[in-house]
Amino acid sequence: MIAAPGPCVLFATPGWISGGFSLEVFKRWAPSEMNLVTLPGYCAAGTIGHKLMSGKPTKIDVDKDTQLDVRCQAFGIFTAGLLSDGAISNIHQLSFSPHTDAKGIMDLVKFLSPKHVILVHGEKPKMATLKGRICSELGIPCVDPANNETVCIPSTHCVKAEASHTFIQSTWSPNFKFFESSSESESDSLLKDRKFISPLQVTDERAVEGILVEEKSKKAKIVHQNELLLALGQRKHEVRFAYCWPMKVRNLEQTKATNLPSSSNVFRMVYVKLSDELSGGDIQDFGEHLQVESFQISICLKDRCPYRIIDSTGNESEAMFLCCSWSVADEKLAWKIISILENFQLWNSLSI
């Protein structure tokens, strides 16, 4: 936890940093100028806390065999804690009364002007009184949670992020909405007049969607969803469905299997059929297969296709099979196309 990237706040004991967990963390965080150590107002002589508060040391002897470089900031206050991602190397002292019936806490809160205050220690009635004073006199939200009670505080931290060129381009397309409007002051005669034209209002309701990517030691960046896999160095995983079935060929028993329609003829007829049935469908011909959205269809040349459905006759050698696949997003479209083609007889319009 203490080596995790990013800022954090850690309360550790003992407050004098004389040993234990606070000393372990101090050894890790003291050499960095980005860290801050807060200490109690009094630290016993001979402890690391006392050495920090006594001056501005650059080196501290932890024990007879260990010397530690100190570049962190030290701050003397009423409680003990360790703050990661602090400020410059310096030492400050702040003395005040920490009692809930004293003026010190009010002065400290007023001086710091925090967004929220949480009271964590004291007699319940006095904490309630102090909470009321902080809220009413300073106008700062304050809570005094009981033991094991969870408190949620909204964050106001702003993160500056770069934007990829592709993401910026995706914001250029407007989404205009047009609607007519009329003011309430217009007379009824104008509204009834056919020559009167209501003013046209135009709004741009474009919505921009992106993905925030934040890598270690790099600035946050907003990328388009199509760039995410490349940014993460990952491959796309897609679940696809597949189906292979025999096409109906009229008078097939009078024709040898070698005289079955060619793939080009089949594609031509399937293309024409789908163009008639699918209004507005963008059907693409890639030579070896036809495609509508993610739905792909081709002539199946495999002897044993794992997706093949055999009819009751089981005469597989005298049939032409179509094999198709599609993504889950186009499942409704896929079964519509399959239904069209399963009821379509190729042989009527093909010459042999």
CATH code at position 282: 3.30.310
DSSP E strand boundaries for 2-160: 9-10, 36-39, 59-63, 66-69, 73-76, 81-83, 91-93, 117-118, 142-143
pLDDT of residue 124: 87
Structure tokens, 18: 């004389």
Does 198 map to a domain? yes
Shared domain for 226 and 122, answered yes or no, is no
Shared domain for 197 and 266, answered yes or no, is no
Quote the domain boundaries for residue 199. Answer: 158-237
Shared domain for 247 and 319, answered yes or no, is yes
pLDDT of residue 63: 80
Shared domain for 109 and 17, answered yes or no, is yes
**Domain total for the chain?**
3
Shared domain for 209 and 277, answered yes or no, is no
Does 2 map to a domain? no
pLDDT of residue 20: 87
pLDDT of residue 318: 52
Does 168 map to a domain? yes
pLDDT of residue 69: 84
Shared domain for 208 and 274, answered yes or no, is no
Nearest to 325 by CA among 310, 316, 343, 337: 337
Does 272 map to a domain? yes
pTM above 0.85, yes or no: no
Shared domain for 92 and 36, answered yes or no, is yes
pLDDT of residue 60: 82
Shared domain for 114 and 16, answered yes or no, is yes
Could you state, in chain order, the average pLDDT of each consecutive group of 10 residues for the chain (352 residues)? 78 85 88 84 81 78 82 62 39 56 79 88 86 92 91 80 88 78 53 58 81 80 86 83 80 49 74 82 83 90 84 57 91 90 64 42
Please report, for residues 226, 280, 289, 331, the alpha-carbon distance to residue 326 in angstroms, rounded to integers and kept in the order given. Answer: 19, 19, 13, 7
Shared domain for 247 and 330, answered yes or no, is yes
Measured over the CA atoms of residue 141, residue 142, residue 147 and residue 153, the dihedral's sign is: positive
Domain stop point among 218, 237, 256: 237
pLDDT of residue 45: 84
pLDDT of residue 78: 44
Beta bridge partner(s), residue 221 = 162, 213
Shared domain for 23 and 130, answered yes or no, is yes
pLDDT of residue 38: 82
The rounded Cα 138 to chain-centroid distance in angstroms is 37
